[in-house]
A and B are shown apart, each in its own frame.
Chain A
Amino acid sequence: MAQIIIRNLRKEFGSFTAVRESSFTIEDGEFFMLLGPSGCGKTTTLRMIAGLELPSSGEILLDGEEISRRPPSERDIAFVFQMFALYPHMNVRKNISYPLVSQGMPRAQVRAKVAEVARILGIEDILDRSVGGLSGGDRQRVALGRAIVREPKAFMMDEPLGALDAEFREHMAEELRALHDRMGATTVYVTHDQLEAMQMGDKIVVMNNAVVEQFGTPQEIYDKPATMFVADFIGSPSMNFLKFHGKIGIGAREVALGNTAFAVPQTREPFEGDMVFGVRPEHVRLSDDAPYRAEVRATEYLGTTQIVTLETAGGEIKARVPAHQVARVGESLGLDFEAGTITLFDRQSGRALKSELNEGVLHG
């Protein structure tokens, strides 16, 4: 299987830059998520790895070999398309065996391979059907079958669950993850769905506006966002941002929001100017006697928890609190935050300020 190293990869379409100097490493056997809003360059990055687009500059190393200029057929990478792209004029068996036929594999061996793949995916009974009449899930399985049948070095998947019904997606996501765990093949998976990325990925790259914002494990990305964009994009509801102005030195342990001091992870760099105090909704606590006051604007009941929207001097804030906790609209409450989870951002650039929390996670 394979390790993939992306180094300073760049892609321009005319005057439009789709991907800007991106670098990251995909370790052997990883389930690697490329996450970002539409148009952020994630699919272009994936297509460059597969060879469907030529990079304008930069390198792609597959097991140490530079492959960025090779045609897709010489890269030994499989690709699963969002719309599956099953050959409509062939039946399921032919679709799956097509990559093997191109290698000139003997017919008996092809049959055996296809049968094996069909067994793994549980599609033995539809092998002789035409692909036209298949359900979304079966098409997805056939597309996967076509990808895994030739045992490529790596799999590229471009929103493979995007075309499926919501209820079926979850099921398919589990199946995909299970398949990956069994085969252990390096997989690069593009999605715009942060939940899907968190759920399935070993590592996540978050892209925005052609730039890699952060890469790391789902936990790192969720708990220690490198930029305000990542903090906002990941999590639902997203991270709360309270604007404030101030000055911090190296080793500071608290910051002042209005007249209230809040403990934060010890800072590792000095900063002066406009900042943002970032806190996840589940790290907001409501208490009657806390000095930082807020007014309840709305509550959303979610079963075990509820989302309480509050208005503070620093802006609107959402708190995820137990469902049984009483919060009436219009009521004035005190807020407290879990000190160890706070991230401070430079408001101008959106960059997270270094602290003991995110030390070692931030790159560049």
Chain B
Amino acid sequence: MSSFSITAPSGRVKWIAGTLVIFYALITMIPLVWIAITGFKSPADAIAYPPKYIAGSDSDAGFTPTLEGYVNLFTTRTRQTQEYLEANPPETWADEIVRQYDMVIVGPSKFGERFLNSVIIGFGSTFLSVFLGTLAAYAFSRFKIPLADDLLFFILSTRMMPPIAVAIPIFLMYRQLGLSDTHLGMILLYSGVNISLAVWLLKSFIDGIPTEYEEAALIDGYTRFQAFIKVVLPQAATGIASTAIFCLIFSWNEYAFAVLLTTANAQTAPPFIPTIIGVGGLDWPAIAAGVTIFLLPVMIFTVLLRKHLLRGITFGAVRK
């Protein structure tokens, strides 16, 4: 290490920057942690004032962690008479939890189904947007396409208004086409919104890959399609990964269209979670449990692809 450098930050600057980043991270983490904690509270603790937030503590701020929220999230329950409860002792730990409210579990809730819908629609539309986006971006990047600039602008223009602005025409169209409340309908819709982003992002990535690589592959005896698959795609992996994250985040979190277009069959988790009704009011622990589970896939996906994401953000900033 050199003793002094104009460009490298000094130790003190690094320390201050590190502290700031950690501080910022803590602040942004508070709502997430609060949600995660609430999922393990009883309904009474969840709305207690002053708030309780230390699990297992005897102090005023302490609460006893419980899986009630998760049990309520995944089950439907019914209140029973004392005779019935005495005649049927609880069989599982989940049964025991609901017994304290004189209830028994009568079946699974809709949450699992809704969550699965979110997975199918979210990942399905992400795959479709990235797949079509990559092909389109490659074509725009490598071939002479008549009116290419106009086409690209047209593609971009689909993002110039909030998607929900066209909610009514889409609603009417979907009803006519029988796409309302179907997985296919939602996948097409989210892909339609995401594809402009995918084409533009991926085009800039593919533009950055020198054509010599494909030419080398052509010379080496491959067809253009083989060259695309074996040489271009691996190098565009960073771009594809970051594009996929952006697409997934949009379609996973989308709420407005999901409320409008889905009800029983293809409803995703976002419109479902707020409708979880508890006894005598909203069941906050169950909602919090649902939110926690809902957040996990995108978090895992993002963490897995974080290296690509970071490279994606700084892509093109420095000429290699």
Q: Which residues of A contact B (CB under 8 A)?
A: 50-52, 71-73, 77-79, 81, 83, 85-89, 98-99, 102-103, 146, 150
In the complex, the answer to whether A99 meets B215 with C-beta atoms within 8 Å is: no
Tell me the smallest distance from the CB of A136 to a CB of chain B, in Å.
14
Majority DSSP secondary structure for residues of B touching A? helix
A-facing mask of B203-235, CB < 8 A → 1, else 0? 000000010110111111111001000010011
The count of A-to-B residue pairs whose CB atoms sit within 8 angstroms is 55
Given contacts A73-B218, A98-B217, 12 further A-B pairs with CB under 8 A are: A52-B218, A73-B220, A81-B212, A83-B212, A85-B213, A85-B215, A85-B216, A86-B216, A87-B213, A88-B213, A89-B235, A146-B216
Partner of A81, one of B215, B221, B231, B235: B215
Given known contacts A99-B220, A99-B221, is B234 in contact with A89 (CB within 8 Å)?
Answer: yes
In the complex, the answer to whether B222 meets A79 with C-beta atoms within 8 Å is: no
Q: Which of B78-98 contact A (CB under 8 A)?
A: none
Tell me the smallest distance from the CB of B135 to a CB of chain A, in Å.
20
Top 6 A-B pairs, shortest CB-CB distance: A85-B212, A102-B221, A99-B220, A85-B216, A89-B234, A73-B221
Q: Give the nearest-CB partner of B216 in chain A.
A: A85
Distance A102 CA – B221 CA, assembled complex (angstroms): 6
In the complex, the answer to whether B235 meets A50 with C-beta atoms within 8 Å is: no
Majority DSSP secondary structure for residues of A touching B? loop
In the complex, the answer to whether B216 meets A79 with C-beta atoms within 8 Å is: yes
Distance A98 CA – B223 CA, assembled complex (angstroms): 13
In the complex, the answer to whether B218 meets A87 with C-beta atoms within 8 Å is: no
Tell me the smallest distance from the CB of A259 to a CB of chain B, in Å.
59
In the complex, the answer to whether B218 meets A72 with C-beta atoms within 8 Å is: yes
Please name all residues of chain B whose beta carbon is closer than 8 Å to the beta carbon of A102 when the two chains form the complex. 220-222, 226
Partner of A146, one of B210, B220, B223, B234: B220
In the complex, the answer to whether A72 meets B219 with C-beta atoms within 8 Å is: yes
- Can you name 29 A-B pairs with beta carbons within 8 Å? A50-B219, A51-B219, A52-B219, A72-B215, A72-B218, A73-B218, A73-B219, A73-B220, A73-B221, A73-B223, A78-B219, A81-B215, A83-B210, A83-B212, A85-B212, A86-B216, A87-B216, A87-B217, A88-B213, A88-B235, A98-B217, A99-B219, A99-B220, A99-B221, A102-B220, A102-B222, A103-B221, A146-B216, A146-B220
Distance A82 CA – B210 CA, assembled complex (angstroms): 12
In the complex, the answer to whether A52 meets B210 with C-beta atoms within 8 Å is: no
Range class of the B interface residue count: 10 to 19
Please name all residues of chain B whose beta carbon is closer than 8 Å to the beta carbon of A51 when the two chains form the complex. 218-219
Distance A86 CA – B231 CA, assembled complex (angstroms): 10
Please name all residues of chain B whose beta carbon is closer than 8 Å to the beta carbon of A83 when the two chains form the complex. 210, 212
Tell me the smallest distance from the CB of B5 to a CB of chain A, in Å.
24
Q: Which residues of B contact A (CB under 8 A)?
A: 210, 212-213, 215-223, 226, 231, 234-235
Please name all residues of chain B whose beta carbon is closer than 8 Å to the beta carbon of A79 when the two chains form the complex. 215-216, 219
Please name all residues of chain A whose beta carbon is closer than 8 Å to the beta carbon of B216 when the two chains form the complex. 79, 81, 85-87, 146
Distance A71 CA – B215 CA, assembled complex (angstroms): 11
In the complex, the answer to whether A52 meets B220 with C-beta atoms within 8 Å is: no
Please name all residues of chain A whose beta carbon is closer than 8 Å to the beta carbon of B212 when the two chains form the complex. 81, 83, 85
Please name all residues of chain A whose beta carbon is closer than 8 Å to the beta carbon of B222 when the two chains form the complex. 73, 102
Please name all residues of chain B whose beta carbon is closer than 8 Å to the beta carbon of A85 when the two chains form the complex. 210, 212-213, 215-216
Distance A146 CA – B223 CA, assembled complex (angstroms): 17
Most chain A CB inside 10 Å of its own CB: which residue of B212, B220, B226, B231? B220
In the complex, the answer to whether B219 meets A77 with C-beta atoms within 8 Å is: yes
Distance A87 CA – B216 CA, assembled complex (angstroms): 9
Please name all residues of chain A whose beta carbon is closer than 8 Å to the beta carbon of B235 when the two chains form the complex. 88-89
Please name all residues of chain B whose beta carbon is closer than 8 Å to the beta carbon of A81 when the two chains form the complex. 212, 215-216
Distance A83 CA – B210 CA, assembled complex (angstroms): 9
Tell me the smallest distance from the CB of A192 to a CB of chain B, in Å.
18
Partner of A71, one of B210, B218, B234: B218
Distance A243 CA – B221 CA, assembled complex (angstroms): 54
Most chain B CB inside 10 Å of its own CB: which residue of A73, A79, A89, A102? A73
Q: Give the nearest-CB partner of B213 in chain A.
A: A85
Tell me the smallest distance from the CB of A92 to a CB of chain B, in Å.
15
Distance A317 CA – B220 CA, assembled complex (angstroms): 50
In the complex, the answer to whether B213 meets A98 with C-beta atoms within 8 Å is: no
Please name all residues of chain A whose beta carbon is closer than 8 Å to the beta carbon of B231 when the two chains form the complex. 87
Distance A286 CA – B203 CA, assembled complex (angstroms): 64
Distance A83 CA – B213 CA, assembled complex (angstroms): 10
Distance A77 CA – B221 CA, assembled complex (angstroms): 10
Distance A150 CA – B220 CA, assembled complex (angstroms): 9
Distance A16 CA – B234 CA, assembled complex (angstroms): 35
Please name all residues of chain A whose beta carbon is closer than 8 Å to the beta carbon of B215 when the two chains form the complex. 52, 72, 79, 81, 85
Distance A214 CA – B222 CA, assembled complex (angstroms): 36
Most chain A CB inside 10 Å of its own CB: which residue of B212, B218, B221, B234? B221
Please name all residues of chain A whose beta carbon is closer than 8 Å to the beta carbon of B217 when the two chains form the complex. 87, 98
Distance A259 CA – B303 CA, assembled complex (angstroms): 87
Distance A146 CA – B212 CA, assembled complex (angstroms): 14
Please name all residues of chain B whose beta carbon is closer than 8 Å to the beta carbon of A150 when the two chains form the complex. 220-221
Please name all residues of chain A whose beta carbon is closer than 8 Å to the beta carbon of B226 when the two chains form the complex. 102
Distance A143 CA – B39 CA, assembled complex (angstroms): 59
Tell me the smallest distance from the CB of A146 to a CB of chain B, in Å.
7
Distance A276 CA – B216 CA, assembled complex (angstroms): 46
Tell me the smallest distance from the CB of A88 to a CB of chain B, in Å.
6
Q: Give the nearest-CB partner of A152 in chain B.
A: B219
